[in-house]
Structure 1
């Protein structure tokens, strides 16, 4: 990581709005209402004139902290959101000991670093797919062009015990100049691994961004994962790449799955590179999980070794929402919504019989986010078991003891268990799938049997209904929130690749989309 050039050294003010206690704060923003709060010193604030902190206030360089604080105070008072509030928001309070003096940026590799001679330095003028009466193509600039000083702070929660240092990521978005000449770009899009709500959305949004924003006209859709780069011949075209156009992707976001198909395994670096060189592909968009991203980084590193001007961009996909550094993964919200259907069914079944117990197994190999979020948001779950917490089944204050008391009190109970929970009870399988993932023990059926045994030993009757929605929660179309998120990911992956970034992934961090360097293939 390198130290960020722009100065982020400042003592700043934050309105606590009546909160008391430890000096722990969150760097936030008013968003659409105007006032933004960043850890920017006067110099940095001055350099951001294209995005003013307040439309009615311009920050000039000030030498003292007091004058800087006064400026923030004035901005706060003049904020449209604060002024429109019937009671206002009062004075801002200076928080002592909470500051950021240095920000270290995690840089993203760029083709300009080792192939400067291939840099086309094309002015990034957004292409509009319309033609004027004089047949002259019309183009427009973007609303905001990202520069080197546009970053996302990785540590927005602060308190007075932390060092005045923060990490940062490159903020995603269009750049002033593209590395590639868009008219010469050929791109490839591939989906790998398991299904996830929103896959079709990402494929569609990458295609539309390439076609409508940059004018790219050759976009290969690689079929059935990495093997689709080579696992076909001129005589057998069943799994040959398809050409992606606005017409072919027009309505695919209304359906689950992926129009390209997906598969685990099949990675052959040399054969994939051979496809890229044979067909002149200069941008590869890889949509997949951690294993897929490791493979994508191998492609990026090999292209660099061979001095190939190929940008490799990743879009992280995991229904389990267990991607480090990111706020969430696409498809997760949809999966939680769908999981609630199973929980409601289990609750209904349990309520309608004496001592009824509904057991629902949900996806979550090594992280229980789906199980936890679905349980908490449903309001119907009495016991939730996740991989992060060891399960204690027997004894006082154990899981089964708790469930017994719940059934005694309300006449029924609902249990949710993540598929990866309980390895300490059932052991770890030595078998693995093509993607290297170990097969999981049947924790759902195991819990059903143990619940029945527990109640039988106590001489109590119970009726246990076991529901396993399994792949149903991941094969549905993305909901509105995930659809919007997929659009942000797809478009910003294209912006990053066009700028020459490679070996990176796009994702939401601190509620902003960033370009984040991928791990080395040896990791």
Structure 2
């Protein structure tokens, strides 16, 4: 099989225990049916992809459909589960925690549910964070708040020590909520667990506000991000129009991918320029950004600019390349750079402008999930529990082609998802802003 088409999910062993869920195996009885492992979802649903498989007589790439299995690896009432949250804050983390606890307790009657405080640090005894017992009563209201009730941290920890902690505390399954670095950590834990031949399932629930997890339709928190950003853009527009040649610059999250910035620009069509990491652009020159901004002011006397935090890093020369504890590049502030260069440009032109710079990043990422993200978080958490109980491991749960599926962690951490500059989504952003196709 072509490695690119291999989405096989690792398992801990044979599933021989009956599920406590009273579901059906009969179509038409109006009761939800157990999902079989051979129930697959096509990765590529295009006619062209189908024809290529027919012409080459090859099996199309398929993913395992998520859902409750009739036979389980674990005996649910003897099971201890643990939950950990890592990395930066993101709307919906508490929703996922709550739904994991509710599913483990009410669906399967899990014996014990443990919260691991402060990310992977909580699995290292020297930090002394201890554990938190999680019950439905404790988590019942946490979805109303942003952040994470468990706390978080960045950076990796010794894998062998973390597995020692899981083993010593008789933890049967670990649910890790986090982004790219967290998922790589989950996979490393799974590899060490496999070496030791331990019956511990590890599951990743992809959390990145930037929506940059490869292969899946979206990650939780993303929709809330541009939902919360939208009224900020509205107010920025008010600031811009409130002054002659008023310019409002709003910097949004998006370290390597500009989905939040572009989505906000489409949702709030008062944005006149959107700059994202995927695009190259020049500030100077006949076709550069500053000349386009000048034309905009000449016509409308105001402009709203939305820029993703990772955009325009090519404009910074030299300097030390810094990373955070998770290994992510710490980008230089493109928003402040734009503000300075715009002022210099129009000062040289003898044109008076009023510039307002707004960075709402921490407000956005700490907001509670909106309704749609809340729904998404709940459903994704349920699917994660179903998969773990069946003994599946080293997988993430995500949605692809509007279906919840299980994907091997190793497949989703190979690269980050980015905006296709030739795709309809980016074209929609350009249509909304009215900016030139190229700014260089």
TM-score, normalisation: structure 1: 0.74
SS in 2 for 1:326: coil
Q: Which runs of 5+ in 2 are unaligned?
A: 24-29, 415-440
Shift of 1:410: 1.1
SS in 1 for 2:248: strand
Tell me the residue number matched to 2:397: 506
Q: Residue 168 of structure 1 is aligned with which of 62, 80, 84?
A: 62
On the 8 A contact 1:225/1:266 being kept in 2, the answer is no
Distance 1:321-1:169 versus aligned 2 partners, 3 A rule: same
Measure, in 2, the Cα distance between the counterparts of 1:269 and 1:475: 29
Tell me the residue number matched to 1:207: 101
SS in 1 for 2:136: coil
Cα deviation digits, residues 305-328 of structure 1 (max 9, x gap): 111000101101111001110000
Distance 1:454-1:226 versus aligned 2 partners, 3 A rule: same
1:304 aligned onto 2:188: no
On the 8 A contact 1:333/1:482 being kept in 2, the answer is yes
Cα deviation digits, residues 462-519 of structure 1 (max 9, x gap): 1000111121111000001100110111000000001110000000100111000111
Tell me the residue number matched to 2:429: none
Correspondence list, 1:325-364, <5 A: 325-364=215-254
Measure, in 2, the Cα distance between the counterparts of 1:174 and 1:127: 11
Question: Which has the larger displacement, 405-414 or 255-264?
Answer: 405-414
1:108 aligned onto 2:9: yes
Q: Residue 273 of structure 1 is aligned with which of 141, 159, 163?
A: 163
SS in 2 for 1:187: strand
On the 8 A contact 2:214/2:412 being kept in 1, the answer is no
Distance 1:522-1:418 versus aligned 2 partners, 3 A rule: closer
On the 8 A contact 1:429/1:439 being kept in 2, the answer is no
- Name the structure where helix makes up a greater proportion of residues: 2
Cα deviation digits, residues 237-265 of structure 1 (max 9, x gap): xx211011101100000000000000001
On the 8 A contact 1:2/1:107 being kept in 2, the answer is no
Measure, in 1, the Cα distance between the counterparts of 2:248 and 2:93: 31
1:230 aligned onto 2:230: no
Q: Residue 495 of structure 1 is aligned with which of 386, 390, 395?
A: 386
Shift of 1:158: 2.4
Shift of 1:222: 0.1
1:380 aligned onto 2:293: no
Tell me the residue number matched to 1:415: 305
Shift of 1:157: 2.2
Shift of 1:391: 1.8
Tell me the residue number matched to 1:76: none
On the 8 A contact 1:2/1:106 being kept in 2, the answer is no
On the 8 A contact 1:127/1:212 being kept in 2, the answer is no
Tell me the residue number matched to 2:20: 125
Shift of 1:341: 2.2
Shift of 1:142: 6.6
Cα deviation digits, residues 364-401 of structure 1 (max 9, x gap): 00001100110111001111111001121111122111
Tell me the residue number matched to 2:360: 469
Shift of 1:127: 7.4
Cα deviation digits, residues 190-217 of structure 1 (max 9, x gap): 0000010000011111111100000003
Higher relative contact order structure (alpha carbons within 8 Å, sequence separation ≥ 6):
2
On the 8 A contact 1:429/1:438 being kept in 2, the answer is no
1:145 aligned onto 2:34: yes
On the 8 A contact 2:156/2:185 being kept in 1, the answer is no
Tell me the residue number matched to 1:439: 330
Shift of 1:342: 2.0
Q: Residue 73 of structure 2 is aligned with which of 165, 175, 179?
A: 179
SS in 2 for 1:276: helix
Measure, in 2, the Cα distance between the counterparts of 1:492 and 1:327: 16
Measure, in 2, the Cα distance between the counterparts of 1:191 and 1:476: 16
Structure 1 consecutive aligned stretches of length 4 or more whose deviation exceeds 4 Å: 520-523
Measure, in 1, the Cα distance between the counterparts of 2:183 and 2:37: 25
Distance 1:242-1:142 versus aligned 2 partners, 3 A rule: farther
Measure, in 2, the Cα distance between the counterparts of 1:432 and 1:315: 24
Tell me the residue number matched to 1:484: 375
Measure, in 2, the Cα distance between the counterparts of 1:418 and 1:271: 37
Shift of 1:145: 0.7
Tell me the residue number matched to 1:313: 203
Measure, in 2, the Cα distance between the counterparts of 1:276 and 1:488: 26
Tell me the residue number matched to 1:189: 83
Measure, in 1, the Cα distance between the counterparts of 2:159 and 2:228: 37
- Name the structure where strand makes up a greater proportion of residues: 1
Shift of 1:231: 3.8
Residues paired across the two proteins, number: 402
TM-score, normalisation: structure 2: 0.87
